[in-house]
Every structure is written in C-alpha cells, then in structure tokens.
Amino acid sequence: MYTPERFVPDEDSVRDLLANQGASDLITMTPRGLLATLLPFEYAPDAGEHGSLLGHLARANDQWKQPVRGEAMVIVRGPEAYITPTWYATKREHHRVVPTWNYMIAHVYGRLVVHDEAAWIEAQIRRLTDRHESGCPAPWSVDDAPAEFVQRQLRAVVGVELVISRIEAKFKLTQNQPQENLEGVINGLQARRRAGDAAVAAAVRAHDPRSATA
C-alpha cells in the first residue's frame, strides 16, 4: 500500500479500526484466480503474535474450499468521504487546490484457517451478534431463535480465521493541509451531512497532527 509517512496511523488507532469494523473483504489467491467475499469479522487481538480476524461464510461459498496461494488478505475500511476544495481557506488565496478523498483503511495479511467445528462456529456467531446488537434498544440473542433452527443454520456455514502476520494501514485525514484548511474540512463535513460525513469529521479532528490528543 502506498502510504506517505504523514498518513501512517499509530498501532492503537489500527487496533481500534479492527475492533470496530463492519463488514470487510476477504480476498484469496486460489487455483481459480482471485476470490473475494464481504464478511463481518470479529477482531481477536490476543490470538497469536499479531491477533486474528474471525468470521464465517456460507458452506455453499466455494472460497473456503479453494487452496490459498500465499497469504490471504482482509481489507478493513473505516469511514470515508469526498473532500471538495471549496472547503479550503487557501482556495480563496491562490486556487491551487484539488478535490481528494479522506478514508481509513487497513490491509490485513495472514494465514487463512478454516474451522468446521460446530462449537467454534456457534461461539463466533454469538460474539459477533452480541457486539452488533449491543446498541439496540432490545438486543436480539441467538437464544431467541428455536434451538433446532439455530443448529440447522450453523450447519449451513463454516468458520474462517485470518491469523494475522502483518498489517498495512493508511489514515488519510487532511493531515497534509494547513490548519485553516483542516478546520474548513471539518466544518464542511459537519454541514454537508452525507452518510459517513460526521464520522470522517470526527476522525479528522482526532488525527489532527497539531492536536495534543492526536
């Protein structure tokens, strides 16, 4: 991944991105070529030297059956947003500005392990469900469904684990702009209010290299 030094996040920020990810892309090179599946993952930071990403996919999905050539990769994305140069204060001074895109991303590499044990799959699904249901007014639990129905559903999936070997991450959040442009981006995002704008505005503020809290 091309990552200028100013866009390299610290380790705590990367771990936070992995812990709070939504659905991410599992990509493998196989004898059939590149295969990819969008999956919700759970981050297990204490599994092995660098942690693991735990998930599951449909048993009918051929990706888990295909031998992986080299490392597998999961692409984890944070919030992202289009940045218009009209938000830059320096536009009014010299007009030497261009549009760009702000984003947070991690390319997570490692060894893909398939888990076809019912207990492993059920535990992973329970943890993943509990995490995503935690903010709901009336959280749904796996135990809300009939046990026989749950067992049928579990037999229809297999577990996958990416045992992490390395991570390349990039947080491009206006760190390369002067302070007045950074403030303009935050104000512009907060005013525009497209999907993801508020989260990107908060991330720009949190990762301001001139801030004492960054």
Domains of the chain (ranges; CATH) run 5-80+98-177 (2.30.110.10)
CB 76 within 8 A of CB 119: no
pLDDT of residue 214: 57
pLDDT of residue 48: 83
**Model-wide pTM > 0.85:** yes
* pLDDT, tens only, 87-121: 999 988 888 889 999 999 999 999 999 999 999 99
Q: Across residues 3-7, what is the average pLDDT?
A: 95
Which residues, at least 6 apart from 25, have a Cβ–Cβ distance to it below 8 Å? 36, 37, 38, 39, 74, 75
Measured distance CA(107)–CA(75) in Å, rounded: 5
pLDDT of residue 96: 84
Q: How confident is the model at residue 185 (pLDDT cuts 50, 70, 90)?
A: very high
In this prediction, what percent of the chain has a pLDDT beyond 70?
99
In terms of DSSP H, where are the helices of the chain? 11-19, 91-94, 118-133, 147-155, 179-192, 197-206
Count, residues in the chain: 214
Measured distance CA(15)–CA(53) in Å, rounded: 11
- What mean pLDDT value characterizes the chain? 95
Q: Across residues 159-185, what is the average pLDDT?
A: 97
pLDDT of residue 153: 94
pLDDT at 4 over 80: yes
* pLDDT, tens only, 13-28: 999 999 999 999 999 9
Joined tokens for residue 169: 């991450």
Q: From its phi and psi, is residue 183 left (phi > 0), alpha (psi between -120 and 50) or beta?
A: alpha
Q: Sign of the CA dihedral 57, 61, 64, 65?
A: positive
pLDDT at 8 over 70: yes
pLDDT of residue 102: 98
Q: Which residue has the tokens 């320096």?
A: 90
Strand-pair category, 42-44 with 33-40? unpaired
Measured distance CA(83)–CA(75) in Å, rounded: 22
pLDDT of residue 115: 97
pLDDT of residue 135: 87
